[in-house]
A and B are shown apart, each in its own frame.
Chain A
Amino acid sequence: MVKAKRGEKKAMERLIREWQPRLYNFALKHLGNPDDAVDVTQQVLFIMSRQLKKLREPSAFSVWLYSIAMNEIRKTWRKRREEVAEVPDYMGEKEGLAFAALQLLPPHQREIILLKEIEGFSVKEISEILSIPEGTVKSRLFYALKALRAQYLRLKEEAYGRPQ
């Protein structure tokens, strides 16, 4: 990353290859649409390649990158919030249900679940990415997980009926 920051093109290419799958995953699970996820990933990596030299703290790279990603995801979300996400074909039954339940949450709940559960950021890092206090991250995460569970159980009941 430091070499890429210095402007070494090969290092930048490696950095992009390293982060692209993670960003794509994150965007896909947030936006629920592969085409939007591709566009957001491309845009985030493009901004990263242009702005990296301005990053002061190399250790804060992932937080900085996900701040860009959140910004781009929110822009995309605002543009197409009416559209309904679709469960990707490759997902199995449980993953598909979890994905669908996640899509039913409001964006502010979905993003916090993804940042914590899928990306594994700490509460402090999430508070930096989203620019909200750590206490808000914790309580938002608590209610987001509760809401996710409720949506998941509802979808499961719709699909398979009420458990006996």
Chain B
Amino acid sequence: MVDHSEYKRMIVEFLYGEITPQRESLLLRHLAQCEECRRELREIRQAREILQPLRNPAPSPRVVLKERVSLPWAAALFLLSFLFLLFNLIYRGLPRTEGLRNPSQITETLEIKEPPDFSVLLEDYEAYFLQEEDYLSIEDNRR
């Protein structure tokens, strides 16, 4: 004797073509004499018809996969870049003095060179870094 909850599972198997021949004949015999299960079968069929329009795919955004610079490489690049900037700052960016002199003897105005524009260099570096970074982005054409 199979209870009704088992017939409900059989109805699902039957509607999706996943039922074995033995269970199918058992279900069909039961449906022939059970009005309630016939109604359940009709309702489940109707529910599946309701879902039919939802099988249309939604318009979806496009995914772009970009290349990646691995973390050690990115760190090495950053370090090299930083050292380069530091080197420039120390050896080129500061005004040079010619030995120690008595301050009272200093008559000329020290020419202070403009330091390198770090913001531009850093922006360039960041742009490079971002361009090379691996990430998945979805272009913003969402609806």
Cβ contact within 8 Å between A118 and B44? no
A145 at the interface (CB under 8 A from B): yes
Scoring B9, B59, B63 by chain A CB atoms within 10 A of each residue's CB, the highest score goes to B63
Complex contacts, B58 vs chain A, CB 8 Å:
24-25, 28-29, 88, 90
Which residue, of B5, B44, B50, B135, has the highest number of chain A Cβ atoms within 10 A? B50
With contacts defined as CB atoms under 8 Å apart, how many contacts are there between chain A and chain B in the complex? 116
- A139 partner, pick from B8, B18, B43, B62, beta carbons under 8 A: B8
Given A25-B57, A142-B12, A146-B44, answer yes or no on A152-B50 (Cβ-Cβ < 8 Å): yes
C-alpha gap A139/B4 in the complex (Å): 11
Indicate which residue in A17, A97, A123, A146 contacts B16 across the interface (CB closer than 8 Å): A123
Interface membership of B76, Cβ < 8 A = no
**Interface members, chain A 91-122 (any B CB < 8 Å):** 91-92, 94-95, 97-99, 101-102, 113, 116-118, 122
Residues 49-60 of chain B, each 1 if its beta carbon lies under 8 Å from chain A, else 0: 011111111111
Interface range on chain A (Cβ under 8 Å from partner) = 35 or more
Main secondary structure on chain A at its contact with chain B? helix
Q: Taking the nearest CB of chain B, how far is it from the CB of A104, in angstroms?
A: 13
Enumerate chain B residues within 8 angstroms of A145, measured Cβ to Cβ: 43-44, 47-48
Are B67 and A9 neighbours in the complex by a CB distance under 8 Å? Answer: yes
Asked whether A25 lies within 8 Å of B53 as measured between CB atoms, the reply is no
Expressed in whole angstroms, the Cα–Cα distance for A28 and B55 within the complex equals 12
Q: Is B1 an interface residue (CB 8 A)?
A: no
Say yes or no: A118 contacts B65, CB within 8 Å: no
Given the complex, which residues of A lie within 8 Å of B137, measured CB to CB? 42
Given contacts A138-B9, A139-B9, A142-B11, contact A38 B50 (CB under 8 A): no
Question: Can you give 12 contacting A-B residue pairs, CB < 8 Å?
Answer: A16-B65, A25-B58, A34-B143, A95-B56, A98-B50, A99-B54, A139-B5, A139-B12, A142-B9, A146-B43, A149-B47, A152-B47
Q: Which 3 A-B pairs have the closest CB atoms?
A: A95-B53, A145-B47, A24-B60
